[in-house]
Structures are given as C-alpha cells and as structure tokens.
Amino acid sequence: MRTNFSALHLVILFLGILVLFDCLYVVNQVQHGVLFQFGEAIKVDQDPGLKFKIPFIQKIEYFDKRILSVEAEAKELTASDGKRVIVDAFARFQIKDPVKFYKTVHDYYGFRLRLNKILESSMRKVIGRVSLSSLLTKARNDAMAEIKSLVNEESDLFGVVVIDVRILRADLPKENGAAIYSRMQTDREKEAKQIRAEGSEEAAKIRSIADKESKIITSKAFAESEAIKAEGDTIAAKVYNEAYSKDPEFYNFYRSLDAYQHIIKSEDTKLILSAQSELFKYLNIGK
C-alpha cells in the first residue's frame, strides 16, 4: 500500500511539474512572442521576461525582431536595350506585425519563398525599363530604390517592412559573353588601326616640316658660308695686293718657289720646258 501511494505521489508531482512548465514561457529581447488559443492569436508580447499562459490550451510562437536577410536566386532578365542579364540580389527585412506574418506565410521559410517571387517580379518591371549600361553606373542605385519600393508595397501584406534591396551581381549569360568579347575586340582593333593611321599621318607632316626647315637652314648656312668665304677672299686679295705693291720682285720670287715646290715633288719628276721659260727665271738655267 505504501509503494502504491508513493508512485501516485510521483505521478502527481510529475504532472504538476509538467503543468507548471507549460504555464510558463520566456520572451527574449530579440523576439516577438505571440500567444495563440485554439489557433487564434490573442496576445503579442513585445517586452522580454517570464510570462504565464493557460496550459495545454494556449501555445506560444516566437518571431525574430532583428533585421533578417533573404538572398534571391539568380534570375535571367532582359534590360530595356534587349540585352539579357543574370542578376543576383538580396533583401533585408524586419517583421513588424507578427500576427499577420504568421497568418500569411507562417514562418521565415514561407516568407523567403514569397519574397523570391516578389523580388523577381519587381526586378523584371524595373530592369525592363533600364539599359544594361545603366546597371553598371550610379544609376543602378535609382533602380534598386525603385525595386525596394515595389517590394515594400507587396511585403506589407505579410506584416513585413523591407529595409533594403541590393543587386549583388549583374552579369551577361555565358552564351553572350563570347559574342560580346569578339565585338569588343573588333572595336578595339578598329580603334587601334585608326590611331595608327592618324599617327602615321602626323609623323609624315612632322617629317615634311622638318625636311623643309632643314633645307632652309642648310640654304641659309651655305649662303652665309659663301658670304664669309667671299669676304675672306677679298681680305686675302687685299693683303696680297698690299704685299705685292711693297716688293713685287720678292713676291714673284716667293710665288716661283711655291710653284717649284708643288711641281717638283720627287726625284723622278720630269719637265720638258724651254730654257727661256719664265718658270726658270730664278734658277739661272740657260744663262
């Protein structure tokens, strides 16, 4: 009898502890606590701390207060200029109305699926009005702001506010990459040929100008040299005349010796001249 009484007490104690634990719940400071009764939300606990509920009748669901993020799957979209582009994007959001959030998408994973579809639809609308080149410039920020506005309008139905939407990557599809690279290479080669042609034309102009200036400089230098030479010849003639006028006989003698030196250069030199030639005047030949 004592054994049965002790076992009964243990069962009652266990049930009491179980009921006590089911009466208590704790709301964390980074969580919303939503209290449900028979499937209906009856209370939202925003303040952290230890709370009480009716056991087995009421249940608690927790939703994160923090800013959460969802990375959208890569999507192939068409820009306004007809070019295909693969876009990776992500969104940051916060749950503002946990009851509405629970009723519409139930949890984070349900919302992620819905947000992916909303993001894809919004990006198709916005990127369809924007050229590919704009997505690679500062105009990309305007596109992201417009996408965020569209996503926020639809996310409000789920009790969520979207804080930010960002395009992580905007790339061309692989099949288009080779064609675009080839076109870019052709454009660069064409540009290089044009630059080389312009360079050759400019070089020819520079060479022509340089040749012209060189001829002008050479002509001026030749004219100056001829003038200097003529001036020198004039001075020399003047000096010769002055010297000749002082002693003509000595001058003739000096010129004759100079002539002998240039004519008779070696021992085997042979000259056949008349003995009465003026050249031999100072050698006393034939006298």
Strand 75-78, strand 84-95: pairing: antiparallel
pLDDT given at position 284: 58
pLDDT given at position 43: 85
In a domain, 258, yes or no: yes
Strand 31-37, strand 40-45: pairing: antiparallel
Work out the average pLDDT over 113-134.
Answer: 86
Using alpha carbons, select from 83, 92, 28 the residue that is nearest to residue 60.
Answer: 28
In a domain, 78, yes or no: yes
- Full domain range(s) for residue 97: 68-172
Residue 32 predicted with pLDDT over 90: no
Record the pTM.
0.53
Work out the average pLDDT over 211-240.
Answer: 85
pLDDT given at position 1: 45
What distance in Å separates the CA atoms of residue 259 and residue 279, rounded to the nearest whole number? 8
Q: Are residues 147 and 129 in the same domain?
A: yes
Residue 232 predicted with pLDDT over 90: no
Q: Could you give the number of structural domains in the chain?
A: 3
Q: How would residue 98 be classed by pLDDT, with cut points 50, 70 and 90?
A: very high
Residue 93 predicted with pLDDT over 90: yes
In a domain, 135, yes or no: yes
Q: Are residues 89 and 121 in the same domain?
A: yes
Residue 79 predicted with pLDDT over 90: no
What distance in Å separates the CA atoms of residue 154 and residue 152, rounded to the nearest whole number? 5
Handedness of CA 65, 94, 74, 136 (dihedral sign): negative
pLDDT given at position 92: 92
Residue 156 predicted with pLDDT over 70: yes
Q: Are residues 46 and 75 in the same domain?
A: no
What distance in Å separates the CA atoms of residue 159 and residue 34, rounded to the nearest whole number? 14
In a domain, 196, yes or no: no
In a domain, 91, yes or no: yes
What CATH number should be reported for the domain holding residue 115? 3.30.479.30
Q: Are residues 86 and 153 in the same domain?
A: yes
